[in-house]
Amino acid sequence: MGQLVTLQPFEQEMATRLAELANNPKIVAKMRDNFPHPYSISDAYFWISFCNNQKNNQNVFRAILYHNEFVGGIGVLRGEDIYRNNAEIGYWLGEPYWGLNIMTEAVQQMTAWTFDNTDITRLSAGIFETNPASMKVLEKAGYYLEAIHSKAILKYGEVFDEYLYVKLAPSF
């Protein structure tokens, strides 16, 4: 039996399912404002094209598959200038798949791939205080809480703390 959770490049055939799963206010509430809502089929096609046009492992975005079915997305966005050895990891999972440990496995895979295939030495994720499930995912994937940025996030007119989780490359 193969892996239950796999990461692969996005494919145009995923667009319909991507739009269906991503068009969820529960997901949008925990994402940055540049995550569209409502999430249309044209948003899905735009995102797939954007992801597949990234070059040189600078920014890497992958579809998450569970039993070979598209269920969410994960990505690593490299820092710039003096932060070029840093990257931010971000992810989302369709609501029907919450609580199945899919995201923990996806974060572990993406983290390992990043440290094995790039010169990134530090991964971080900023999590809304309202998202304890994502904090748990990161902790299970070996990340640690580095800081709490007080009142750093503005979403829907409300101000929230940001929990910053970090994992360093094994060489550190």
Tens-digit pLDDT profile for the chain (172 aa)? 447 999 999 999 999 999 999 999 999 999 999 999 999 999 999 999 999 888 766 799 999 999 999 999 999 999 999 999 999 999 999 999 999 999 999 999 999 999 999 999 999 999 999 999 999 999 999 999 999 999 999 999 999 999 999 999 998 8
117: Cα separation from own chain's centroid:
18
Strand-pairing partners, residue 162, are 128, 149
Question: Could you count the other beta carbons within 10 Å of the beta carbon of residue 103?
Answer: 26
Q: Which residues contact 37 (CB under 8 A, 6 or more apart)?
A: 23, 25, 28
Delimit the domains of the chain by residue range.
Answer: 5-168
- The CATH fold of domain 5-168: Aminopeptidase (3.40.630)
pTM of the model: 0.95
